[in-house]
C-alpha cells in the first residue's frame, strides 16, 4: 500500500495533516466535521486508485481523505512577506542540515567527526569487500581513536601516564564508491586515485578522508599522504583489501589496524622510530627506538639510543608490530593530530560548523 501524502494538493476536503494550521479557523471550520482520519494512517488506499475508481476504493464511504495544508500555506505565503521569508529560511536550514549529515562536524565536546569515503577497486568478489566489513573498519577506527579498544588494558604501567586516551577524532562513513577492474596488482604510484589511470577519483579530498581499498599491493599493506597533501587529488589512504576490516582479512593483520596506522600518517604522525636509527618522530613522550618492531614483542623491549637504555613503545599504532600487538597512541601524538584537525590546521576542511 502506498502511504497517503499529506502534501498532495489535489485532495483538500479533509484536514488534520498538521496541527499548526488549526488556527486558521475560517478555512478549517467547514471541513472539521468531516475529519476523522489522521493523514499518517496507513489504512487508506493508494491515492491514484482512489482517483480512478472512487466507489471501489472508498469501501462504501462517502468520503475520501484529503488535506488542504499546502493550499492553505500557499495562500498564507502569498499574503505575507514575513512568512515567505521564514519559509525560505526554513527550507535553507533543512537543506543545510541534510548536507551537514553527510559531512564532518565538530561535536559538542570538541571531537572532530571526519567523513569517510571508501573507494573500492575490485577484480574478484573477495576484493569487493562488503558493507559490513567497511562498517567493521570504521568501528575499529572509532574505538582506536576513542581509546575504547578493549586491548587498551594491555598498555604497560610505564606508559599509562602518556597514553592518549580519547584522541577526540571520530569517523563516519559518508559514501562507498565501487568499481570493477581487471588490474591484478597495484603499486604506490597512485593509479588507484584517478579514473584516467583505472582508479576512482577522490571525493572532495579537502572535506573527506578518502580511503581506496585495492587488491594485491605485494608486500605493502597500505600507505597514506600526510597533511601537506590536504585537498590534492591524491590525498588519502590506500589499503590492500586483505588488510581492511576484520572479517575475512589476513592474519596477523586482520584487526583493522592497518587503517589505524595509515590514518595516523594522514593526521601527521610519523613512524615511532622516526624512520631512522634512533630517529625523531617529533613526539617527546614516545621513547626513541632503533628501528621498527615486528610480530608480537614482549614488554619490556630495551633499545639504547643516545646512551640511554629503556623499553620502547612497540605497542604504539605507529610501529610495525602485528595488529594484535598494537593498541595505543601517546598524548604527544594526540596533540599532533589535534593540531591538524583544528580550525587553524591543515585538515580543517574535515570540520563543518
Ligand atoms: Zn606507516
Distance 223 CA to ligand 1 centre (A): 7
Rounded CA gap, 105 and 125, in Å? Answer: 34
262 is catalytic: yes
User: Which of the following is catalytic: 50, 113, 127, 262?
Assistant: 262
Distance 272 CA to ligand 1 centre (A): 9
Nearest CA among 344, 350, 327 for reference residue 163: 327
Residue 350 has pLDDT above 60, yes or no: yes
Strand ranges, E, within the chain: 105-106, 112-122, 169-180, 209-214, 222-224, 237-240, 302-305, 308-311
Write out the three cell numbers for 108: 559538542
Distance 271 CA to ligand 1 centre (A): 6
Distance 177 CA to ligand 1 centre (A): 25
CA distances from 9 to 12, 71, 75, 187 (A): 6, 6, 12, 58
pLDDT in tens, 304-323: 999 999 999 999 999 999 99
Q: What confidence score (pLDDT) does residue 95 get?
A: 84
Highest averaged pLDDT of the listed ranges 31-40, 54-63, 330-339: 330-339
pLDDT in tens, 274-313: 999 999 999 999 999 999 999 999 999 999 999 999 999 9
Helix, strand, or coil here: 105? strand
Distance 206 CA to ligand 1 centre (A): 21
Q: What confidence score (pLDDT) does residue 40 get?
A: 39
Residue 39 has pLDDT above 70, yes or no: no
Strand ranges, E, within 72-228: 105-106, 112-122, 169-180, 209-214, 222-224
Confidence class of residue 60 from pLDDT cuts 50, 70 and 90? Answer: low
Distance 261 CA to ligand 1 centre (A): 6
Amino acid at each position: 500500500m502506498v502511504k497517503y501524502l499529506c502534501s498532495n494538493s489535489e485532495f483538500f476536503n479533509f484536514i488534520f495533516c498538521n496541527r499548526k494550521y488549526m488556527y486558521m479557523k475560517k478555512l478549517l471550520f467547514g471541513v472539521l466535521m468531516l475529519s476523522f482520519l489522521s493523514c499518517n494512517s496507513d489504512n487508506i488506499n493508494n491515492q491514484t486508485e482512489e482517483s480512478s475508481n472512487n466507489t471501489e476504493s472508498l469501501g462504501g464511504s462517502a468520503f475520501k481523505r484529503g488535506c488542504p495544508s499546502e493550499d492553505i500555506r500557499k495562500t498564507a505565503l502569498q499574503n505575507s512577506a514575513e512568512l515567505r521569508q521564514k519559509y525560505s529560511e526554513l527550507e535553507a536550514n533543512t537543506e543545510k542540515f541534510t548536507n551537514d549529515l553527510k559531512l564532518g562536524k565538530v561535536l559538542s565536546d570538541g571531537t572532530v567527526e571526519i567523513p569517510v569515503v571508501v573507494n573500492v577497486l575490485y577484480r574478484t568478489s573477495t576484493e569487493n569487500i562488503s558493507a559490513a566489513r567497511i562498517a567493521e573498519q570504521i568501528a575499529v577506527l572509532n574505538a582506536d581513536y576513542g581509546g575504547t579498544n578493549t586491548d587498551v588494558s594491555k598498555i604497560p604501567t610505564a606508559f599509562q601516564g602518556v597514553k592518549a586516551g580519547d584522541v577526540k577524532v571520530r569517523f563516519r562513513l559518508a559514501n562507498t564508491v565501487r568499481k570493477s577492474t581487471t588490474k591484478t596488482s597495484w603499486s604506490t604510484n597512485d593509479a588507484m586515485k584517478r579514473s584516467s589511470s583505472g582508479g576512482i577519483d577522490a571525493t572532495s579530498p579537502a572535506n573527506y578522508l578518502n580511503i581506496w581499498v585495492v587488491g594485491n599491493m605485494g608486500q605493502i599493506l597500505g600507505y597514506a599522504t600526510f597533511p601537506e597533501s590536504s585537498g590534492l587529488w591524491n590525498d588519502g589512504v590506500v589499503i590492500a583489501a586483505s588488510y581492511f576490516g576484520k572479517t575475512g582479512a589476513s592474519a596477523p593483520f586482520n584487526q583493522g589496524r592497518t587503517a589505524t596506522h595509515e590514518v595516523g600518517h594522514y593526521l601527521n604522525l610519523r613512524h615511532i622510530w622516526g624512520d631512522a636509527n634512533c630517529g625523531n618522530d617529533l613526539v617527546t613522550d614516545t621513547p626513541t627506538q632503533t628501528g621498527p618492531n615486528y610480530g608480537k614483542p614482549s614488554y619490556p623491549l630495551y633499545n639504547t639510543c643516545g646512551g640511554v637504555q629503556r623499553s620502547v613503545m612497540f605497542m604504539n599504532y605507529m610501529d610495525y608490530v602485528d595488529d594484535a600487538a598494537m593498541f595505543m597512541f601517546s598524548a604527544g601524538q594526540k596533540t599532533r593530530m589535534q593540531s591538524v584537525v583544528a580550525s587553524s590546521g591543515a585538515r580543517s576542511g574535515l570540520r563543518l560548523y
